[in-house]
Structure 1
Amino acid sequence: MSIKTLIKTSVVLLTAGMCLYSTGTSAFAVGDISFLRAADTIGAGNGITAANDEKAQKYADIPVYSFIAVDISPDADTSIDYSEWWYSEWEDCHYLSLPSTADRTHLRIDCFADGNITLDGEMIKTGEYTDILSKADEFQIEVNGEDCGKLKVMQSDRGCIFIDTEVTTFEQLDANRFLTMSGEAVMIDADGNTVYNGDIEKISAHGNSSWDYSKKKPYNIKLPQKADLFGMGKAKKWGLISNYLDHSMLRNKLTEEMCKAAGMEYTMDSVFIDLYTNGSYRGTYQLSEKVQIQKNRVNITDLEEETEELNASELKNIRGRPWVRTVLMITLKTAINATLYQMTRRISQAVILCSSCSGTDTV
């Protein structure tokens, strides 16, 4: 072994030791940051905090039992492109979240209430198409003349994923991480092009601490066949990262981009999308490649069989085999890449934490 190789190996081992030592230090190094979003303030200075008392949540229960926008991706051949409004305890109002593909001049509204629903005085007829949602982003809701608060309409500018399940619901999976379920999905990019339209073989929980401490749960999905999602290459397995504990939602993506800029091989790719499950808007997620040995992912030799053969052989029988050196070099290269990735991720976390000291995080 040359001196140059010894020096490189020493540097890698020293770096790995530093990374292992630093794992004992919390990524949240500045102040006491709670894992509970309900304890945090959104937009400090704007006076928007969680409405915990009954008086503040005046419009939590109104005589409207459902309000659903249907056919919100008109160019997609699907019936699962719909979105139901949701109540915000932070602002004591209702929100309707729409994807970039929604034509607000021609949306069907399905609603059910104890009387006639009006938005800014204009009656909504259930099951009929209307252009009312194109006239403003905020509406006054009334049922038979009774004040029912505000409706705020938000429309995204990114791609979206609609998932529909029949037997098991996402609420059941959120309550029991050991459940798995299947369903169907439609994935559409920001320009309205259908990226995927078909079944999902398996939906399961993703992560450990990111699952336990998050109200917004992350998921794994497995497709029946390999598919190229949003230009990231064909594969079956994908991750839906919630980034709940990262108020900026940028740490993972920033780390990936830094690794690509540094020329690191096998850096996973990802895109931000809006997730809708059974008509419920779940928020912005990061659709990410899974780390796995595969042509479009980590394109290396699968060492499982070689490792089993090595473990089953006597040391004297494997000395001198030409492929042993190759196996060891691939293993070392993979370890170096993993170490550099962890270092880059911690640097990106430090950058974001430092920048947060000069301003207020936005959720």
Structure 2
Amino acid sequence: MTRKRIGAALLIAALIPLLLIIGFVADEADDTGYFEKLSIEVNGHGSGAVVQAYYDENHNSDAWYLFLPSCADISQSPVHFSGADHLEIEDINGVVTNIKNGGYLTGLNRDETYLIRFVNGIGYTVADGKIVYMQSENTPSAFIATETGNMEHLNLSKKNTEKGTMTLFTSDGKVDYFGTLDEIRGHGNTSWRLEKRPYQIKLHKSTGLLGMGKARSWHLLANLLDVSKVRNLIVNDMADKAGLCASADTVMADVYFNGKYAGLYQVSEKVEIDPARLDITDLEEENRKVNLNDPATYETTEVEGTGESEISYALLDHTPMDYTGGYLIERNYVDRYSSRPSRFKTESGERYVVRSPAYASETEVKYIADLFQQMEDKAGAGDSSISEIIDLQSFADKYVLEEFIKNEASGSTSSFFYKDSDSVDPLIHAGPAWDYDKTFGNGQNDTVDAVRTITFNTNHKQQTMLFYDLYMKNDEFRSLVKKSYKEKIRPYVEKLLNSKADEFAEIISADNGMDGFRWHDNPDSIAEDTDKICGFIKERMDFCDEIWLNDAEIAVVHFVGDGEDRNPYIGVIKGEKLTALPVLPHDAKSGAHWIRKDTGEEITEDTVITEDFEACLST
């Protein structure tokens, strides 16, 4: 070999390491690419249970995070990465551990920050940064993979759907479910518009999850509006103890979508007619039997009636001989009401959705609408024969529950009723209970959060008048309310204050701050909100004791706004201050305020109320 050739060979050999380094820099100019491909396979399960590294530029920390479920054993969970030969993990004492692809992050401590370097085959660091792993305790975990491998399509619209798979672990690592999901879709109304979104999943076949009854459809509730995350847990349990039928069972779980930690979710039963849930006659199934085509394929039509009444129904070919039940009805307001195929309005404008059968025939909608019109008429007239068409006890239980917890949406939205076939039970029942994140002082206006008032479920816009009429005009109903409070709600509340609230708080805190970190909730804020709930409950119990156990007299102020806005009835113990005023209607003139309609006297939060009167806006 000539000297020139030898020199060229030596030069090439010397340049190879440099070229390799340049190649890596060109391929992976940004360290982010390495970290995005860093993941841990939970316990080497090999079923899609993978946790990807996460970075949040909104946090002060410059570290990447691994959010591990309770069941993960970090010493048995292989780490995976690409673009490097091995990892170097360095602790605060400068001790370095080398980890090959498929190796284990042994010796790492939870919540501690480590330096991490991605090192290539010739010993050069191609990317570096910081890494922290967090881990929950005593919490189940769900790993959901969508067909597309991301959430973009699902998050574009609540109507969009995808298929997928789910691996569900109990807190100790046992596989509770491993199989396909026939459908994943968005869920919720206000909550759907938030950053942490709720979802609905449909299993391939009816299966019990985490000890709950067998069914196909399940909700994953985000609870982002509830800092404490315990409100739905408390109220669902309270409703169950109060005897409200088919109150949803729920379990908290860490949820991962396509390997990315999504937060602590409430895995919840769905409000639906089903043997494991609301076990009444399935009229929707009966409709399928008597019609040649799927009821969902038929056109729908809308017909106006007297007053504000209207009905909307599917143009089915046939109706079952027994169309008296079962029905699942939801009271809702205009934008949520109008999107449903089967629905009706009463003469006063109360809006109800026929949730099941979702595509009801004309005969069916007319039948159930007529019953609800009778209920409205009899409640408004104080007619004691209303007990011949509604189960007064369930209505009293529902009312006292929602009045006590100060549910902002009570009676107006997510408010359910049901009726079975006459051959089983001819009465309309109130329930199941549902959707309680805006309770216990977590509402959006002061009248909802006021502790020492009674508002008859008239807090929300387009509010119902049903429970006001029942309470003010039906002696039997009022007696049942007091009895329900004394024998059901109050004993539960005492236990809640003594110990049960702490039990619920422990369920949430078991995630060790992962959800709070992921969604920017300070752990101190979570604890403060839980304490706030307990304080609210204590004050609320003192007030309800006075009105329902000691028969303190109340005076009621009716605030008359613009008809479609909030027009609440607010009751206080005679001689006490109002403490809160309703928000002014959206079209109120500048400088407008509330006044007594009869005297013109201005009404403020400090106005002492001694008698019933009507309030209106100043002109």
Question: Do they fold alike, i.e. is TM over 0.5?
Answer: yes
Contact preservation (8 Å) 1:247, 1:362: yes
Say whether residues 1:186 and 2:160 are aligned partners: no
Q: Which amino acid aligns with 1:85?
A: A
> In the superposition, relative to structure 1, how do residues 206 and 310 fare at CA in structure 2: closer, same or farther (>3 Å)?
closer
- For 1:192-207, list aligned pairs within 5 A: 192-207=173-188
Deviation at residue 145 of structure 1 after TM alignment: 5.2
Q: How far, CA to CA, are the matches of 1:242 and 1:255 in structure 2? A: 16
Rounded Cα–Cα distance in structure 2 between residues aligned with 1:185 and 1:362:
29
Question: Among 76, 81, 89, which residue is 2:49 paired with?
Answer: 81
- Is the 1:64–1:113 contact (alpha carbons within 8 Å) kept by the matching residues of 2? no
1:125 Cα offset (Å): 1.6
The residue that corresponds to 1:227 in the other structure is 207
Q: Which whole-Å CA distance do the structure 2 matches of 1:168 and 1:111 have between them? A: 18
Q: 1:110 to 1:60 in 2, by over 3 A?
A: closer
Distance in structure 2 (CA, Å) of the matches to 1:253 and 1:133: 36
Aligned residue number for residue 46 of structure 1: none
Matched, 1:240 2:220: yes
Deviation of 1:155 after TM superposition, in Å, equals 1.5
* Cα separation, partners in 2 of 1:225 and 1:147, compared to 1, 3 Å: closer
Structure 2 counterpart of 1:343: 403
Measured after TM superposition, the shift of residue 109 of structure 1 is 1.1
Alignment match, 2:98? 123
Cα distance in 1, alignment partners of residues 62 and 199 from structure 2: 29
The gaps in structure 2 that reach 5 residues or longer are: 1-29, 91-95, 119-123, 285-322, 326-362, 371-385, 408-435, 443-448, 452-500, 502-522, 528-619
**Secondary structure of the corresponding residue to residue 101 of structure 1:** coil
User: Which SS does the other structure have where 1:258 is aligned?
Assistant: helix
**TM-score (norm: length of structure 1):** 0.68
1:273 aligns with 2:258: no
Q: Which amino acid counterpart does residue 52 of structure 2 have in structure 1?
A: E
Which residue in the other structure is 2:612 paired with? Answer: none
**Separation in 2, partners of 1:259, 1:187:** 27
Other-structure match for 2:64: 94
Query: Distance in 1 between the 2:176 and 2:389 partners?
Result: 40
Contact 2:168 2:178 in 1 (8 A): yes
Instruction: Answer whether contact 1:60 1:87 (CA < 8 A) is retained.
Output: no
Kindly indicate whether the alpha-carbon contact (under 8 Å) linking 1:66 and 1:113 is maintained by their aligned counterparts in 2. no
State the Cα distance separating 1:311 from its structure 2 match: 3.1
Which whole-Å CA distance do the structure 1 matches of 2:162 and 2:402 have between them? 32
Cα displacement (A) at 1:160: 0.6
Q: Deviations over 1:75-133 (max 9, x none)?
A: x5x5201110100331221110111221211221111246753211322322x222425
Q: Is the 8 A contact 1:271 1:287 kept in 2?
A: yes
Distance 1:205 1:360 in 2: 30
Give the Å deviation of 1:339: 3.8
> Is 2:77 aligned against 1:107?
yes
Q: Could you say which structure has the larger radius of gyration?
A: 2
Pair 1:189–1:64, CA change in 2 (3 A): closer
In the alignment, structure 1 segments of 5+ residues that lack a partner are 1-58, 316-324
- SS for the counterpart of 2:153 is helix
Give secondary structure in 1 for the equivalent of 2:245.
coil
Structure 1 position 161, deviation (Å): 0.6
Matched, 1:150 2:240: no
Distance 1:164 1:99 in 2: 16
After TM superposition, the structure 1 = structure 2 runs for residues 11-22 of structure 1, keeping only pairs within 5 Å, are none
1:48-88: CA deviations, max 9, x gaps? xxxxxxxxxxx994754411101x145x5x52011101003
Report the CA distance shift for 1:111/1:244 in structure 2 as closer, same or farther (over 3 A).
Answer: same
SS of the counterpart of 1:239?
A: strand
Structure with more of its chain in helix, by fraction:
2
Question: Which residue of 329, 339, 352 corresponds with 2:390?
Answer: 329
8 Å contact kept, 2:244–2:398: no
Matching residue of 2:39 = 68
1:133/1:227 CA distance change after superposition, 3 Å: farther
Kept in 2: contact 1:265–1:337 (CA 8 A): no
1:193 Cα deviation after fit: 1.8
Partner amino acid, structure 1, of 2:38: F
Shift of 1:247: 1.3
What does residue 106 of structure 2 align with? 132
1:64–1:112 CA contact under 8 A, matched in 2: no
Structure ranking higher on relative contact order (CA contacts 8 Å, 6+ apart) = 1
Deviations 1:135-176 (A, max 9, x none): 554222234558844211112220011111223632321133
Given the superposition, is the C-alpha separation of residues 262 and 197 from structure 1 closer, same or farther in structure 2, using an over 3 Å criterion? same
Alpha-carbon distance in 2 for matches of 1:302, 1:149:
58
CA contact (8 A) 2:110 2:134 kept: no
Q: Which amino acid aligns with 1:66?
A: K
Shift of 1:343: 3.2
SS in 2 for 1:257: helix
> Residues of 1 paired with 2:129 and 2:235: CA distance?
42
> What's the offset of the Cα at 1:326?
10
Q: AA paired with 2:53?
A: W
| 2:237 aligned with 1:177 | no
* CA distance, structure 1, for counterparts of residue 106 and residue 269 of structure 2: 39
Alpha-carbon contact 1:256-1:269 (below 8 Å) kept = yes
Aligned length: 286
Equivalent residue of 1:86, what SS? coil
Deviation at 1:293, TM superposition (A): 1.8
Report what 2:15 is aligned to: none
- Cα 1:147–1:79 change in 2 (3 A) is closer
Aligned residues: percent identity? 30
